[in-house]
Copies of this chain bind each other. A is one copy, B any other.
Amino acid sequence: MSAANKTIAIDAMGGDHGVNSTVPGAALALKKSPDLKFIFFGDETAVTPLLTQHPELKAASTVHHTDKFIKSGEKPSSALRASKGSSMRLAIEAVQEGRADAVVSAGNTGALMAVAKIVLKMLPGIHRPAIASVFPTMDTDTIILDLGANVLVEAENLVQFAVLGSVFAKAHKGVDKPSVGLLNVGTEETKGPEHVKKAGAILSKIEFPGRYKGFVEGTDLTNGSVDVVVSDGYAGNIALKTAEGVGKVTGHYFKKFITGDPLSILGGILAFVALKRFKHKVDPRIYNGGVFLGLGGLCVKSHGGCDALAFSSAVNLAAELANHGYIERVARDINHLMEQESFLSIESY
């Protein structure tokens, strides 16, 4: 497949800042990947003036007008019922109909998942989708899933997540056989809840696109010891939000102390460039983008509060996976999983 000319469908109206982050965000992403094409779904009178400010983006884009969009506070079930013709649903349908290679939205997570499941459907053999994201670690990146599409799941689901995440890591990190760890409370085989222990036993036996490395702990989310960390959405979501919280409290105290006296302020000014580089390295905006995996098409959720830089990260992630041919590859690998005796023998559906 060709890596060039991938088209990204943009839900222009999603997120707290709507077009003010989605349009300049796409412009930033285009600078990084000049071959990209865009279709913006949303209010033409809001999108077009902003596109005019970014001539290169305008040349690479078409606008599909709709004045209907899903509100951030809406319940997934009612949002789904009323979703026909909305900017979010139209953008997802563009992927389903082959007019776009991926969709990016900063809208309501629950609604996006509900509509994406209905429109894009699950890949054959997959019973649970997962949300995956990239974490900054010591010297590399780690892919983590599930971050909250589900809560507690069965061992079978965790094994499928390992496949979904391994293909993600191949696309994002360019490694051939990504190392995969199962998130648990300790590394000994006897530790942990039943579904995690059972998944570990299956992963040791099956053939899949990654290398199973055993159980990992919370510290392994950020120390780069594995390429992929697999978890149920309960522990995964709590770990993700804990990490966000620690980042925030650290920044809070750091700012408080570094601005506490004149000498420290002067020191902070002298170290300005280093501090800026440090802030950039741990900037959550660079790592923005939760990818819905297990669906029949690529769908990336941007943080609702994203600015243009953060939105561009989500678009870049979508482009990266589209260029890699993620869906075709993962469909083949899931197929291969479903043919293996050691997976089927425990498959309980």
Contacts and interface: CB of A to CB of B under 8 A. Distances in A.
Contact of A275 (B136, B219, B257): B257
Given A235-B235, A253-B282, A267-B268, A274 B258 contact: yes
Interface stretch (A45-53, A206-214, A238-246, A308-316): A238-246
A152 interface: yes
B274 A261 contact: yes
A152 to B, nearest CB: 5
Q: In the assembly, how many copies of this chain are there? A: 2
B235 A220 contact: no
A78 interface: no
A264 interface: yes
A270 interface: yes
A274 B260 contact: yes
A233 interface: yes
B246 A222 contact: yes
Contacts of A272: 267
Contacts of A222: 242, 245-246, 248-249
Contact of A217 (B220, B238, B274): B238
Contacts of A231: 238
Nearest to A152: B193
A233 B231 CA distance: 15
B219 A248 contact: yes
Contacts of A184: 238
A245 B218 contact: yes
Residue from A220, A235, A244 with most neighbouring chain B CB atoms (10 Å): A235
Interface in A137-152: 137-138, 148, 151-152
A4 interface: no
Contacts of A282: 249-250, 253
Given A221-B246, A223-B249, 12 more contacts: A152-B152, A152-B193, A184-B238, A186-B237, A219-B244, A222-B245, A231-B238, A246-B247, A246-B250, A258-B275, A260-B274, A266-B270
Interface of A: 136-138, 148, 151-152, 183-186, 191-193, 217-223, 231, 233-235, 237-250, 252-254, 257-258, 260-261, 263-264, 266-275, 277-278, 281-282
8 contacts: A151-B191, A239-B239, A250-B282, A253-B281, A258-B275, A263-B273, A264-B273, A267-B268
